[in-house]
Amino acid sequence: MALSAAAPSPAAAPVSEAFDAEEMLALVLARLDDDKAEDIVPIELRGKTTIADYMVVASGRSQRHVGAIADHLVEALKERGVKGVRVEGMPACDWVLIDASDVIVHVFQPEVRGFYNIEKMWSGALPAAAPKLTRG
């Protein structure tokens, strides 16, 4: 009896040329949720800046949690074929920035997030509508 391979999950599928900002945002939000990031806030930047289409701000409970969230997210992006992902802040893990071109992710420890208050800085930007996540 032959065993068939399970179909890859959407997060593990290779990137197609049509991999757009919304798909990347969905991947980022799903990965953050899987890693139990807290207070996840997606912010739409279109029309506000040209640095990215979306920014996502999230918190981890400790330096170790922030580092694990960032590591897993970078790994998931690379598995999807996202090239040129840049990461800042990994040694300290108080605030890790992941630049995936169309989506910029900030993962903070709660007290650092409160100090910098990035959401207030971008308060003129509209909160992004979270894409529907399908689990199968």
How many residues are listed for the chain in this entry? Answer: 136
Q: Please write the tens of the pLDDT for every residue from 9-27.
A: 444 443 444 478 999 999 9
17-21, 57-61, 72-76, 99-103: which range is least confident on average? 17-21
- β-pairing, 95-99 vs 38-44, is unpaired
Band of residue 2 on the pLDDT scale cut at 50, 70, 90: very low
Query: Which residues partner with 42 through β-bridges?
Result: 56
Cβ contacts of 54 within 8 Å, gap of 6 or more: 21, 24, 25, 42, 43, 44, 45, 102, 103, 104, 128
Domains in the chain: ranges and CATH? 20-121 (3.30.460.10)
Q: Which residue has the higher pLDDT, 129 or 22?
A: 22
Looking at residue 119, its pLDDT comes to 84
Looking at residue 88, its pLDDT comes to 96
* Whole-prediction pTM: 0.77
Looking at residue 122, its pLDDT comes to 78
| Strand-by-strand arrangement of the 54-59 sheet | 38-44, 54-59, 103-108, 95-99, 86-88
Q: Please write the tens of the pLDDT for every residue from 92-124.
A: 999 999 999 899 999 999 999 999 988 888 766
Running DSSP on this structure, what letter comes out for residue 112?
H
> Interior CA angle at 106 toward 42 and 94, to 5°?
145
